[in-house]
Amino acid sequence: MTKTNLITGFLGSGKTTSILHLLAYKDPAEKWAVLVNEFGEVGIDGALLADSGALLKEIPGGCMCCVNGLPMQVGLNTLLRQGKPDRLLIEPTGLGHPKQILDLLTAPVYEPWIDLRATLWHPGPSPVAGRTDRRQ
């Protein structure tokens, strides 16, 4: 079974950066894979992850959970069957709702394949983080 983490959050919240950090500290003996959903047709996140040493599968355009999850199922099945990773990190676009993805990952058909672990949620930068106190 493949240990699987869903890494979700709003657009620009730091999902790809977190994945890059996780990949930098992974056990070199393990094979990791990343399933990434690009909202646009140009794969910016995929390009950032390309040199990470992980197997990479991109799902371009829209939300990976739309159209009954078919684009995600195809990408997921490809990675699980061909790549046989020890761990799978899934990064959906910040526009979709993670519940549909979690429902798919916990479906009976994936029970023998996926060991769903923690879901990491990035809320985005705090509005207070960049504030400075202007009192004199």
**pLDDT for res 63:** 66
DSSP designation for 83: I
Domain membership flag for residue 135: no
In terms of Cβ atoms closer than 10 Å to its own Cβ (0-12, 13-18, 19+), residue 120 is middle
Count of domains observed in the chain:
1
**pLDDT for res 42:** 45
Domain membership flag for residue 34: yes
Domain membership flag for residue 134: no
- Tokens 């099945």 appear where? 77
Asked if 55 and 83 count as a contact pair (C-beta separation under 8 A), the reply is yes
How do 114-122 and 55-60 pair as beta strands?
unpaired
Half-sphere exposure of 120 (CA within 13 A, CB side): 16
Q: In angstroms, rounded to a whole number, what is the distance separating the alpha carbons of residues 133 and 136? A: 9
Domain membership flag for residue 130: no
Domain membership flag for residue 113: yes
Its domain, for residue 16, covers 2-122
**pLDDT for res 65:** 62
Q: What is the CATH number of the domain that holds 45?
A: 3.40.50.300
pLDDT of the chain, 136 residues: tens digit per residue = 999 999 998 888 888 889 888 988 999 999 999 998 865 444 455 555 666 667 888 887 666 666 456 878 888 999 999 999 999 999 988 777 788 889 989 999 999 999 999 999 988 766 655 555 555 4
Domain membership flag for residue 95: yes
**pLDDT for res 67:** 47
